[in-house]
């Protein structure tokens, strides 16, 4: 592969991944579906759900791998058993969607990108509004403070209807990378500022026979939608 093959117009757009808590079709094992003793901050009962089980579904991400090593610590702290699954993104989305649609899924928490499946999942009733859970100090550590998250960070986990469907795992910034030499040769003198500009610039420099591709972006299949979903 030549150097020019890699030097082309590339676009990374804002995207955010959140850990959302939901149980399509039935209440979550971790949700307050049975009374919990009211605890003062200094006597918060981490074992109030001891003996219960949670299933957590994750897409393959650095964060998913990172947090995996802390699962034993969580089990020891809470007494809750965790089934922790990590699948490639395409496989993860297909598996969880099929399970949710069947109404028989026992997934309690899963990674989600609101820009991709937010409207679809909310319309299907697959998200739980966790705001009331976070404010309930009988089930949420009193030391938890939502102000530790920036408003823009929480924004990626909040739908347009105001529902908070999870907590942000990470947020990404958007950037447009371009090769000025290639644009100059194609007669494009200004930096692309709109998606229409990007499309025109990409078409102008696209010469696959010479190993030059006008546009490259992240992934394929489900992953390939990420660069465009925030724009759409």
Q: What range defines the domain where residue 158 resides?
A: 16-171
User: Do 136 and 35 touch, CB atoms closer than 8 A?
Assistant: no
Number of domains in the chain: 2
What pLDDT score was predicted for residue 42?
60
Domain CATH for 83: 3.40.190.10
Task: For residues 186 and 112, state if they share a domain.
Answer: no
Segment 134-189, tens digit of pLDDT? 999 899 999 999 889 888 888 888 998 999 999 988 777 777 889 999 999 999 98
Question: How many CA within 13 A on the CB side of residue 114?
Answer: 26
Task: For residues 166 and 180, state if they share a domain.
Answer: no
Which neighbouring-strand residues pair with 45?
none
What pLDDT score was predicted for residue 34?
43
User: Which of 147, 171, 195 is at the close of a domain?
Assistant: 171
Model confidence, pTM: 0.69
What pLDDT score was predicted for residue 222?
66
User: Do 190 and 39 touch, CB atoms closer than 8 A?
Assistant: no
Segment 9-31, tens digit of pLDDT? 333 333 467 777 654 544 343 44
């Amino acid at each position: 592969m030549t150097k020019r093959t890699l030097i082309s117009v590339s676009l990374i757009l804002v995207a955010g991944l959140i850990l959302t808590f939901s149980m399509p079709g039935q209440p979550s094992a971790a949700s307050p579906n049975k009374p919990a003793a009211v605890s003062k901050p200094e006597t918060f009962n981490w074992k109030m759900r001891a003996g219960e089980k949670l299933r957590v579904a994750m897409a393959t991400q650095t964060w998913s791998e990172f947090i995996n090593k802390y699962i034993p610590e969580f089990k020891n702290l809470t007494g809750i058993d965790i089934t922790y699954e990590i699948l490639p993104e395409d496989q993860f989305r297909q598996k969880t969607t099929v399970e949710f649609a069947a109404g028989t899924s026992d997934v309690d928490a899963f990674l989600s990108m609101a820009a991709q499946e937010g409207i679809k999942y909310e319309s299907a009733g697959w998200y739980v509004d966790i705001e009331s859970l976070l404010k309930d100090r009988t089930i949420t550590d009193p030391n938890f403070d939502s102000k530790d998250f920036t408003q823009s960070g929480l924004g990626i986990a909040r739908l347009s209807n105001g529902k908070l469907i999870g907590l942000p795992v990470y947020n990404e910034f958007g950037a447009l990378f371009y090769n000025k030499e290639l644009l100059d040769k194609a007669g494009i003198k200004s930096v692309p500022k709109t998606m229409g500009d990007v499309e025109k610039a990409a078409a102008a420099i696209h010469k696959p026979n010479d190993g030059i591709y006008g546009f490259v972006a992240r992934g394929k299949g489900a992953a390939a939608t990420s660069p465009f979903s925030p724009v759409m």
